[in-house]
Structures are given as C-alpha cells and as structure tokens.
Amino acid sequence: MSFPEGFPDGFFFIKSLYNGHVVDVGGGSKKSGASVHLWKKKDTDYANQAWCHHDGYLINRNSGLVLDVSGEELALNRPLIQYMKKSRSEAENQRFGYKDGYIYCLANPDMVLDVKGEKFEPGGKLILYPKKPMTEGEVENQLWVFEHART
C-alpha cells in the first residue's frame, strides 16, 4: 500500500487503516483534557472528528484544541487527549508528523499514534507507543490514512 506524503490541506478525518474508524474527541467535548479515541465515522455533525494540520499541530475543528500526549513526557502508553495549544518551545507532546502511514511525535519519531491493545471497536483508546516495523506484520493499529472532510 502506498501512503500520502505528509498531512493533507484543509480539514480531514484520520482513519485507522485496520477498520476505517476515525480519531474522535469523546462526546464532542470542547474541554481541554477531553479524551480522544477511535469511533465510527459520522456522515453529519462530525466536527469533533475533523482535524487540520498546521506547523506540526493537529487541530480539532469542533474545539480548536490540539491533539496532545497526556503529561509532559513522551512515554509508553500515554493516552491522547485534546488540550490547549502550547508554544513550539513547550509543545514536544503536541507536534506530529506523518510518514509511511505512521503519525509520529516530531520530538521522537519512534513514538507513534497507536490503538491501545488493538481494540478496534468504537471507543478504542489512543495512546503513544513505540513504532512497530512493517516487517513484523501486525502493525494495523499504528497505520493511518486520511479522508477529506467537507467544510
């Protein structure tokens, strides 16, 4: 499978390659600290599932908050939340890149967005986890594609 180079322009859905579910802010919350998980893609009223990428930040359309690795350290199993945008010098846990299907932390490209425990049903938690090489075979819980979101 071929993957796009980098994040798309405008708003988009971040879809799990495994099942097509998307990154979703729980309950459509606009609060800083709200959980981010995997959910079925909605056809309408989907602002809490739409994201844009700017300067390394993934910004939620509904809340205007950014994807954030909970806590200050980029450590194994840290949950993903939405949070107020920090300055670049303080945002190691908020800035992301995309390459070969992996969404990774710019501060540590070996740490990637992962569906915890390969739980692909709606509500599956998203965490930070060490990147698995594609040669290991079972990496679908770490691979992502994008779909344009209508504005």
- Using the CB atoms, write b or e for 80-118: b if 16+ within 10 Å: bbbbebeeeeebbbbbbebeebbbbbeebeebbbbbbee
Task: Report the predicted TM-score, pTM, of the whole model to 2 decimal places.
Answer: 0.93
Task: Write out the residue range of the structural domain in which residue 58 sits.
Answer: 12-148
Position 45 in a domain: yes
- Give the C-alpha separation, 139 to 147, whole Å: 20
AA letter at 100:
D
CATH code of the domain containing 88: 2.80.10.50
Of 22-36, 75-89, 116-130, the range with the highest mean pLDDT is: 22-36
Mean of pLDDT values over 94-121: 91
Q: pLDDT by residue (tens digit) across 26-55?
A: 999 999 999 999 999 999 999 999 999 999
Is the dihedral angle over the CA atoms 113, 102, 52, 41 positive or is it negative?
negative
The DSSP bridge partners found for residue 81 are: 35, 68
The CA-atom distances, in angstroms, between 1 and each of 41, 100, 134 are 22, 9, 11
Position 127 in a domain: yes
Position 4 in a domain: no
Domains identified in the chain, total number: 1
pLDDT at 117 over 70: yes
pLDDT at 137 over 80: no
